[in-house]
Structures are given as structure tokens and as C-alpha cells.
Structure 1
Amino acid sequence: MARQKSDCLLLVLLLCIEQTTSMSGYMQGWLTTGDHHNLLRQLPRVYPSTGGGRGVHINIDKNRRYQTMEGFGAALTSSAAYVIHNSPEYDEIINELFSPYSGIGISYIRLPMGASDIQAEAPYTYADTPWDFNLDHFSIDKDRHFIIPVIKKALRVNPTLKIMGTPWTAPAWMKTSNKLQGGQLKWDANINEAYAKYFVKFIQEYQREGIDITAVTVQNEPLNGNDQYPTMEMSWQQESEFVKHHLGPAFRSNNIQTKILLYDHNWDNTDYANNILNDHETSQFVSGVAWHCYGGDKSAPNKVHNSHPNVDMYFSECSGGTWAADFSGNLMWNAETLFIGQPRAWTKTVLLWNLALDENHGPHVQTNGGCKTCRGALTVHTHGGYTKEVEFYLIAHLSKFVKPGAVRIDSNTGQNINTVAFQNSDGSVAILVQNSGSNSQDVTIQVDNNNYIYNMPGHAIATFQL
């Protein structure tokens, strides 16, 4: 009996060795094409070429290592949480989005702290009682309607999910406008102390729900003073002073480990972050800088990284919408600019705007302005069913294969072939390749002295895994 058991264990071991050997002997791939004919379609195995390479050579150098990745995903706005929570396919959608096994394994979400510009309920903050400096009436109860249930369900299928919290506005009574729309934070010590406490209580109340907040940004789009929806302007001087004298010390005294991120606005302004980071009294509390896509050049995070290499870069928002209806054009722009371009510019995340919206790009509270034409990664239909949009597949091409803790490694680009490569903690390598040209091209991926040749269709992206 002991001999039989030993033989069984040996057989299992041999099978494991055989599987590992065979897995290391070929490359797997998943393809999405602009013509919509291939949507994350698994490709036949690619075995090493015995006769050298051809076409565009992509050299993967595991020894040249860059930033450690934290995750990929999108924002769980009030409207996104509403359509997911109320869908007949609620559980299926959660698995589709968050499961590392049966879904695409989204690993990072961005969470508005109260009101944003896409809102399923009347805009609110967590402290709407005027002049409550001690925040005795602070409450996240409105998040319990559908936001917190969706997060908890997502955490059950992906317990390592990370969350970035972002305020669109402080409570109205803390602002010069005395309303959620527009204005600035009143420059008053008591107000500033109360607002720092607001962040602390947000993190603590979510922790009591079993939800850890990985990072917060100080202010969404601090240079956007639009008075049609919740916003709050904050100059770099104000943000620096608030972090230096209030938010940073409040986190330290309450033993809050949540990261503080600056800026959270467009690529067209690198001075905002650099000016703050040049002040050591402020930068001691800062972990990173967050970026949006709506202005400027995609290389902006790289420029700030070069000035402050010890500060992490994060990409936190970009939206598709009815203004960009072409699947192929969206696939190409997003792949080159965001999903390849941002990690190559040192960002540790790539996050899009809404995770999900309905077929009317909402729901929207009529009294709240904001984007009425934005597209979610999923369109969740009011009467059941959902559609995977181009953004879903773009996220999937990284989130499904590049795990949190993966390190970006060196890869080259050229001749309409754009690439970014990563090595996961288990040693596996994932490479996202884009052919931005209209014609197919042979590409040779060179890894560990092996050449893997694949004929890459035009206007396509593929993730290869070894």
C-alpha cells in the first residue's frame, strides 16, 4: 500500500514536471483586432523558431527592470455601481470583471469620495451638516446603497483588489462657493483641519466595512473649476500647504498607511507636481502623482519621474464616449497612448473612467451636470444583458495577464509595432504588442535566446505569455 502511494506521488510529480517543461516550450497569445472579428481570442501555441527570426524583432530583456505594477481597471462611480448592483446579471458581471480565473481579473479601481460628475443619486459628501468641525455627523451611509455592496462582492472574487479614493469636492460649507459645484477650499485652519479629518474618517469607516483604501488623491482635477457639477479648484500652493500642515500629519498621527497622491489631472501641466515635490516638508508625505489623458503629451509622467525618481507615477482617468465611436480607432489610440504608453512612462496603474454605464450613458441625476456621453467599459442594459465595449478588452489585455507585483521589463518598439513587457512574480512574462499599421507584419519576440514568430494582423493588439 505504501509502495502504491509512493508510485502515485511520483507519477503526479512527473506529470507536473512534464507540464512545466511543455509550458516553457511555447508562447501563448490572445488577440483583439480592430475589425471586431477577434475579441481576446486565444491563439494557437507559438513554438520557438529553429531558423532564426524575421520581420520586426522585439527583444525582451528581463535584466533591465523598471517599476513594479499595482494594477489595471476603471472607476466605480455612483452610476457604475448602480447599474452593476441592479443588473439581473449582477454576480456574472462581478465575476466577468474581477475574477482572476473566470474573468479579466481587474486589480485596481478608483472610487469617488462622495459626489462626482456621473451620479445615480443626488450629489452628496460624507459631511453635509454645516459647521460640523468635529465631523460628528460624518457618514458613509449613502455609499451603502450600492457602492459598498459592489466592492464587497468584488473583494470576494478578488481579495487583493486595490482602491484609490478621490474627492471631487469638499463639503459645501468648507468651500468659498458654499456649494458642491466650483469654488475653492476656504483657507482657514479650522476648515483645513476638518477636511484632513474627513479623509481620515473616510478611510477608517471603509476599514470598518472590511475595505482597505490603498491610496487617495488630494483632489480630482484641481485646475477644473466647472460649476455645472461637483468640482473644487486647488492651486499647487494650496495642495502643498494642505498636505504639509494638515493631511500628512493627520495620516501620521492616526497611523494611516494609505498613500497620498498629488495632482490627478492632465498631462499638460508638469509644474504642478514638480513644484510641490520640490518642497521636502510636503514631499515626505507624498507617495505619487496621478495623471489624466484630456490634455498634453503621454510622456508627462516620465518627465516628473526623471525629476523625482523616488515618487511613483499613476495613471488614473481617461474616458471613451459617443464622440469616439470607431472600435478600431479607439483600440489603436488607447493601446498606444495608455496601455502601452503609460507603463512605458513609469506609471504603476492604468485606470479608465467608468467601469460600467447603461445604454443611455448613465444613469444621471438631472440636476447634476457632467458627461452625458461617456462610455463605460461595460454597457449594462436596463432590461438585462450587457455589452463588452472596446475599453473592456483593452483593460483585459493587461489585467488578465499582468498581476499586481509584476515588474515592467525592457522591450523595444518600432515600425508600427509598439510593445510593453512585464515579468510576474511567478517568473512568467507577459508582452502586450500593438500593430498600429493597416497591414499584417511578422514579429519575432526574442526571449531567453528563443525566437517566437507571429504574423500580427493590422490594427490589432495581442498579449503574449511565456
Structure 2
Amino acid sequence: MNQVDVTINVDTSNQYQRVYGYGGALTQSSAYLFSEMLKTNETFGMDVLKSLFDPNEGIGISMLRVPASSCDFSLYNYTYDDVVGDTALDHLSINIDLLYTIPIIKTIQQFNPNIRLIYTPWSAPTWMKSSDSLDYGTLNLNMYDVYTDFITKFITLYKEEQGIDIYAITIQNEPLFQPMTYPGMLVTSQVETSLVKLLGPKLKAANLSTEIFIYDHNWIDPEYPLDILSDEDAYPYVGATAFHCYQGDVSNQSVVYTKFPEKEIHMTECSGGAWAPNFSDNLVWASDNLYIGAMTNWASSMLQWNFALNTQSGPTNHGCLNCRGFITVDESTYQSIEYNVEYYGTAHYNKFISQPCFRIDSEIINNSQQPSSSCINSIAYSNSDGNSYHVVVVNSCSTIMNLQLNLVQENIYLTYSLPIGLTTFYF
């Protein structure tokens, strides 16, 4: 090899946060498409699901986000209780999820029984809101108690009726955004603080281990979760802060972590789409900001948006008309798919990490006089066995770079001609 351009020193003894892995969202639209594939050709459909969720035959996705009731990628609007005035929640039911979502979850669990589920509501039922609409408005003050009962009850039904444990619940998807065309609800940090203080004791009383994730919105406003965590009565019930990627900078995750390092950070949504058609550019941006960027800013998981959409970027419920999923399904046959950059990127970062794993130190040293050698990025993980390590290196330079990769504590020294793109090393 020629002179080394870049050295990466991986310190396997220096562990940072626990990492649960990478994933995406099983919206009703995605669950519907998976269901149609299985109905049309079960073998083909199972192979597609394996490619996503099976740790051995696929990329082993380990985190799953599920909308609790309808969202912008549903077949229509609904919640788990649309009977007006049912404050006793006698009519609350999760039967609508039996159409597509729950059967697909149970199939996924065949491949990965330990997959973690994060549920997120987009709106309370219309009759609990100021607007009498799913698409906008606020939660009525006299419904705070009813709505936290609503959340507790549907989590309980999932466990008792379906044997599905929900790992975490976020209080509200993008609480500072009112979509106007699909479900959404304005929830200030003060209101969310009140809801956390009501919901936390109810989950505990129901013997539910489900954690509460707060915020679940863009990087732009770290003060929102800080407001909640600063409330001494809400603080004990908060498991993590969740972020989205659409505004702001990923470094704001570290703003929250620095003040409350004992509370986890999770990156719960980011979608690709037709606005970003270049595969290599997407891969580099996602690596810098999501796959690596979110994790080096203390995320314990990183989830993208829809697992599956059709060739029309749907089915969509009056939301995004040009979003992209991990896979694109040909809805004319349900027997043909295209794997997108979201799939291949996640594969590099998720395939070889175990549960649990920990982020470890990965120091990049520029040995070259070429300015381009600064366009190297990397992340490293230590697996639960304590003897295997996973390193991903991104070369976004314009040429092959000569790499020296060192895991000194393990007596591993590797020289490698690093091609443009992503390279995964597993030791």
C-alpha cells in the first residue's frame, strides 16, 4: 500500500451509550403493502420481510415504530375510540390493527422475537379536542385524564389480547406541528409535562413496563424536552427524548444529553423522498446526520420512516406525496420490489450489531496533505459478547483512500484501500 491517507483508531475499552439498533416505521400503509404481498405470493412476501427483519437472512432491523391510530400514511382516518363522548372508554378497541398491523408485527417477531416497538399517536380522538378534527387543534383540559387512560388501555390491550409488549410510547408525534390535512395535534411542552405526570403512574399501576419518550419532533427545539425534564415530578417517568430530522441540527441532541445524560436519546423519524434522488449523496448525508451523526450525538436508536411504499409513494392519507420507503412495491403485481438507499444504508450499520451493543471510540487521524481526506467518517460498536466489533467507514472523497484501521486492544491492525462509499468491517 502507498502512504496512509487516514488512520482510524478504535478504542474498544472506551464505551459510550447503549445502542438498540436501527429501524423504521410500520405505518398502516406499509403493513397493508406487506399484507398484499403475502396474500398474492406468500413465499415472495416472506422473503421480503426476512430481508428486512431476519438477523441471519436479512439486515436484522431491531427497532420498529408504529403509529397508534391513523397518520399521514394510513388508508383512512381513525383512532382506537371514535365513539363520541365515550369518556369511560368502553368502546376502545385495537381491532382495526388486526387488519394489517398486528399480523405483520407477529410475522416480524417470528424472525426477531426481541424487536422493540415504539408506538406514537398522531392525534387524540376528535371528541377530546378543541377542533373536533383529527387534523389540528389541542387536547381539551378536561380530557387530559381520559386521554392518558386511552393510552394506558390500548397498551394493555396489546399485551393482554395480542401478547405484544410495547417498549415505548411517545406522547405525541411532532407536537408543535398542526398538519391541517392529516392527523396532528398541538401539544406544548407544558401540556406534555402534565400528560407525562398523569401517564407515568397509570402505566406503573397497570404493571406495564412501557417507557415514555418525550418531544418526538425536530432537532430545532431542544428547549421543549428540557422543559419537561426540568419538572421534578415529570422527570422520573421520562425514559428518553425522541428527535426527528426535518429541521435543525443533529448536535441539538447533545444539548439535551449534556444536561440530562442519564436519559436516553432516540432518533425516531427521517424520510427520504423524490426531492433527494441521488443515491450516493443520500448515503453520505444520512451517514453524516443519521447513521453516524445521530449516534455520535448520543442516540440509542435511529429510525427512518416508512418501510414500504408503492410506486405512487403511497398509500398516503393526504400527507407527503413524494416520500420514499426502504422498499418500493409494484402495486400492479405485489410481486416486484425495489430496494432503496434507506435499505442499503441501514444494512451497513445494522447487520452486524447485536443486542445489546455499545458505541465505542473511533478516532480519525488525517495523515494526508490532501484536503479531501477530511471526507472520511466512521462509527464503531462493541457487541454484547465483548469479543466482536463492527466498524463502518464512509469515504465521500473523490478517490480511493489508503486506510490504516487499528483496534489496538485486540491486536488488530488492518491496511485497506478504501473505495468510495460505505465499507463495513466486522471483527
- Which category of TM-score, normalised to the shorter sequence, fits these structures? over 0.9
| Partner amino acid, structure 2, of 1:67 | Q
Q: How far off its partner does 1:64 sit?
A: 1.1
Deviation at 1:363, TM superposition (A): 1.5
Q: State the alpha-carbon separation in 2 of the partners of residues 127 and 109 from structure 1.
A: 23
Please point out which of 329, 336, 348 is paired with 1:380: 329
Q: 2:163 aligns to what?
A: 210
Greater displacement, 140-149 / 83-92: 83-92
Question: What's 1:59 paired with?
Answer: 9
Partner of 2:310: 358
CA distance in 1, matches of 2:220, 2:136: 21
Question: What CA distance in whole angstroms lies between the structure 2 residues aligned with 1:298 and 1:63?
Answer: 26
**Equivalent in the alignment of 1:451:** 413
Measured against aligned partners, the alpha-carbon deviations of 1:233-270 in whole angstroms (never above 9, x if no partner) come to 100000001111x1112112212210100000000111
1:86 match: secondary structure: helix
Q: How do residues 5-404 of structure 1 correspond to structure 2 at under 5 angstroms?
A: 54-87=4-37, 88=41, 89-119=44-74, 121-188=75-142, 191-207=143-159, 208-244=161-197, 246-364=198-316, 368-382=317-331, 383=333, 384-404=335-355
429, 432, 435: which is aligned to 2:395? 435
- Quote how far apart the aligned CAs of 1:195 are: 0.7
Amino acid at match of 1:432: V
The separation in 1 between residues aligned to 2:400 and 2:214, in whole angstroms, is: 42
Note the C-alpha offset of 1:160. Answer: 0.7
User: How much identity, in percent, do the aligned residues show?
Assistant: 39
Q: SS of the residue aligned with 1:109?
A: strand
CA drift of 1:450 comes to: 2.8
Q: CA deviation at 1:168?
A: 0.4
Q: What is the CA distance between 1:280 and its match in structure 2?
A: 1.3
Distance 2:47 2:318 in 1: 31
Aligned with 1:287: secondary structure?
strand
Is 1:419 aligned to residue 419 of structure 2? Answer: no
Instruction: Render the CA deviation track for 1:284-334: whole Å, top value 9, x for unaligned.
Output: 100100000000011111111001011100000000011111111111111
Could you tell me how far apart the structure 2 residues matched to 1:100 and 1:328 are? Answer: 25
Output one character per residue of 1:135-176: Cα deviation in whole Å (capped at 9) or x when no partner: 110011111111111000000011111100000001110111
Structure 2 equivalent of residue 15 of structure 1:
none
The CA deviation at 1:123 is: 1.0
Q: Offset of 1:94 from its aligned partner?
A: 1.2
Q: Distance in 2 between matches of 1:193 and 1:402?
A: 41
Q: Distance in 2 between matches of 1:156 and 1:349?
A: 22
Give the SS at the match of 1:412: strand
Q: Which residue of 2 aligns with 1:20?
A: none
Deviation of the 1:179 alpha carbon: 1.1
Cα displacement string for residues 88-140 of structure 1 (whole angstroms, at most 9, x for unaligned residues): 32211111111111111011110000110111x22100011111111110011
Q: How far apart are residue 340 of structure 1 and its match?
A: 0.6
Query: Greater CA radius of gyration, 1 or 2?
Result: 1
Indicate the larger mover: 259-268 or 445-454.
445-454
Partner of 1:465: 426
TM-score (norm 2): 0.93
Alpha-carbon separation, structure 2, partners of 1:431 and 1:72: 15
Runs of 5+ consecutive residues of structure 2 not aligned to the other structure: 367-373
| Residues matched between the structures, number | 408
Q: Which runs of 5+ in 1 are unaligned?
A: 1-48
CA distance, structure 1, for counterparts of residue 27 and residue 278 of structure 2 = 25
1:39-97 CA distances to partner (integer Å, 9 max, x unpaired)? Answer: xxxxxxxxxx9x9x822110000111101111211000011111111013221111111
Query: What CA distance in whole angstroms lies between the structure 1 residues aligned with 2:219 and 2:355?
Result: 25
Structure 2 SS opposite 1:303 = helix
3-state DSSP of counterpart to 2:241: strand
Cα deviation for residue 337 of structure 1 reads 0.9
SS across alignment from 2:141? coil
Shift of 1:404: 2.4
Q: Find the aligned partners of 2:138 and 2:417 in 1 and give their Cα distance.
A: 54
Equivalent residue, structure 1, for 2:370: none
Secondary structure of the structure 2 residue equivalent to 1:224: coil
8 Å Cα contact 1:335-1:461 kept in structure 2: no
Q: For the aligned residues, what is the CA RMSD?
A: 1.3
Deviation at 1:439, TM superposition (A): 1.5
- Counterpart amino acid of 1:127? D
Q: Which letter does structure 2 place at the counterpart of 1:199?
A: I
Distance 1:316 1:61 in 2: 28
Secondary structure (helix, strand or coil) at the match of 1:445 reads strand
1:376-432: CA deviation from partner (whole Å, max 9, x where unpaired): 001111112111100001111122111221011000236211111100012200011
- The answer (yes or no) to whether the contact 1:417–1:433 under 8 Å persists in 2 is yes
In 1, distance between residues paired with 2:125 and 2:355?
34
Shift of 1:457: 1.7
